Amino acid sequence: MVLLVPSASYRASAFLDAARALELEVIVGCDEAPVMTGTRASLQVRLDDPRAAAEAIVALDALRPLDAVVAVDDQGTLTAARAAERLGFRTNHPDAVAAARDKLRMRTLLSRAEVSQPAFAVIPPSADALELTRLAELVGLPCVVKPTSLSGSQGVIRADDLAEVLVTVERVRSIATSAGAQPGQPLLMEKFVPGPEVAVEGMLTNGELTVLAVFDKPDPLDGPFFEETLYVTPSRLAASDLGAVTAATQAATRALNLTEGPIHAELRLRDGRAFVIEVAARSIGGLCSRTLEFGTGMSLEYLILAQALGRPIGPLQLRQGAAGVLMLPIRSGGILIEVTGREEALKVPGIAGIELTIAPGRTLVPLPEGNRYLGFVFARGDSPELVEAALRAAHEKLRVRVRHERPLKRPAAGH
């Protein structure tokens, strides 16, 4: 199996653990120079050039026949789909994966299929104040401005009035360009949908959706930025709301023509309707998958690899009880000095682990410019309420010390 792992991914170790459990020979496809570590080889591929990366994988298959190609994060999904299609593996069509990675194409396809979603409009790169005013009146205020290609809430900002719209569009353009988007790329303007937000983790087989978990997001995500913090499962939504979430997610995957493998969806609920915010052709990001355990201890990554190989995986029942994760937010920018209180946080009943993912000495960049979290706190308990309480109590024990960088003083006039 080729496992496509971006160099900045959190997910490599979980997938490699799953590969060992399945007794797989893994070749890691990454954007760094090829290396050989023990018996595991790696292949250098350009994940920002899916066509060329897929060609490299097809060429590798001629030398070392492959059985599957799996991406661990968004950056590799299109490469995996292209290579798998060329090699005759069961996979999503590359066009479907490309649509899931492009928020504008996704919105357009969902609209054609009449899937419930926020009202939206395209902001062309040439839009002036008059055009932005017209679009805001068309979509309605408050609205959300976002890039079409970034993930993790990077560059996603709410604007409440026309003056904020003008400022927000310029800021989002700057963030998108700094993150590598083409300068001429359009932006999206969407109507802000108030109400609780959930995340759906699922698997597709021949186009049919199996919902593995629905995560509540107990902290309100009202903006102006949309930094996610708490995920707790099982959901405490009413059965009717869960039914609406499942139906909307299945409708969205069909509209995008996604048919195989993991999906991660974000939806909002209002007045009994589920509005699709996003659908991705990948599993849940960061280290959040550690909250999920199936059957006799199978991880989400185990299920993904087994399905890619066509192996039977049996009933997909979650472990009994509740689980959750706290994505530690970055509240202010600067140089990270240290995070203290970890030992005290681990003593909170229900806390199952804490993993910090940014080392001291590294620069912290908060949303909306940033796209990383400081770390992850995991909890398990008998109920969602107990899990949420444990995560909040642990968070209170942690203290983050940051050295704020001071801007350079300008020289006095005449010097």
Q: Are residues 87 and 129 in the same domain?
A: no
Q: Are residues 46 and 9 in the same domain?
A: yes
- The pLDDT tens digits of the residues spanning 330-358 come to 999 999 999 999 999 999 999 999 999 99
- The pLDDT tens digits of the residues spanning 120-161 come to 999 999 999 999 999 999 999 999 999 999 888 999 999 999
408, pLDDT greater than 50: no
pLDDT at 397: 98
Expressed as residue numbers, the domain containing 357 is 321-415
Domain boundary among 138, 167, 191: 191
CA 276 to CA 254: how far, in whole Å?
A: 13
State the pLDDT confidence band at 33, using cuts at 50, 70 and 90.
low
Q: What secondary structure does DSSP assign to 237-278, as a single string?
A: S-HHHHHHHHHHHHHHHHHHT--SEEEEEEEEEETTEEEEEE
38, pLDDT greater than 90: no
Assigned domain for 140 exists: yes
CA 389 to CA 412: how far, in whole Å?
A: 54
Q: Are residues 81 and 11 in the same domain?
A: yes
314, pLDDT greater than 90: no
Q: Are residues 72 and 125 in the same domain?
A: no
Tell me the residue type at 413: A
Q: Are residues 75 and 131 in the same domain?
A: no
Q: Is 148 exposed, middle or buried (0-12, 13-18, 19+ CB in 10 A)?
A: buried
247, pLDDT greater than 90: yes
Minimum mean pLDDT range among 100-114, 305-319, 401-415 = 401-415
Tell me the residue type at 43: L
State the pLDDT confidence band at 11, using cuts at 50, 70 and 90.
confident
Assigned domain for 244 exists: no
Q: What average pLDDT does the structure give for the chain?
A: 92
pLDDT at 359: 94
The candidate with the shortest Cα–Cα distance to 330, out of 404, 232, 394, 385, is 404
Grouping H, G, I as helix, E, B as strand and the rest as coil, residue 18 is helix
Q: Are residues 183 and 127 in the same domain?
A: yes
pTM beyond 0.75: yes
Number of compact structural domains in the chain: 3
Assigned domain for 14 exists: yes
Q: Tell me the CATH number at 342.
A: 3.30.470.20
More confident residue, 152 or 327: 327
Q: Tell me the CATH number at 80.
A: 3.40.50.20
CA 194 to CA 199: how far, in whole Å?
A: 15
State the pLDDT confidence band at 35, using cuts at 50, 70 and 90.
very low
pLDDT at 135: 97
Assigned domain for 124 exists: yes
Q: Is 29 exposed, middle or buried (0-12, 13-18, 19+ CB in 10 A)?
A: buried
Domain boundary among 165, 191, 217: 191
Task: Give residue for tokens 């642990």.
Answer: 394
CA 80 to CA 29: how far, in whole Å?
A: 10
State the pLDDT confidence band at 407, using cuts at 50, 70 and 90.
low
34, pLDDT greater than 60: no
Assigned domain for 136 exists: yes
- The pLDDT tens digits of the residues spanning 204-241 come to 999 999 999 999 999 999 999 999 999 999 999 999 99
- The pLDDT tens digits of the residues spanning 261-298 come to 999 999 999 999 999 999 999 999 888 999 999 877 89
pLDDT over 90, % of the chain? 83
Assigned domain for 16 exists: yes
Q: Are residues 88 and 125 in the same domain?
A: no
Contact (Cβ atoms closer than 8 angstroms) between residue 81 and residue 91 = yes
Q: Tell me the CATH number at 162.
A: 3.30.1490.20
Question: What are the tokens at 24?
Answer: 């797989």
CA 133 to CA 225: how far, in whole Å?
A: 21
Assigned domain for 169 exists: yes
Q: What is the CA radius of gyration of the chain?
A: 22
Domain boundary among 191, 209, 230: 191
| Residues 71-90, mean pLDDT to the nearest whole number | 95
Assigned domain for 135 exists: yes
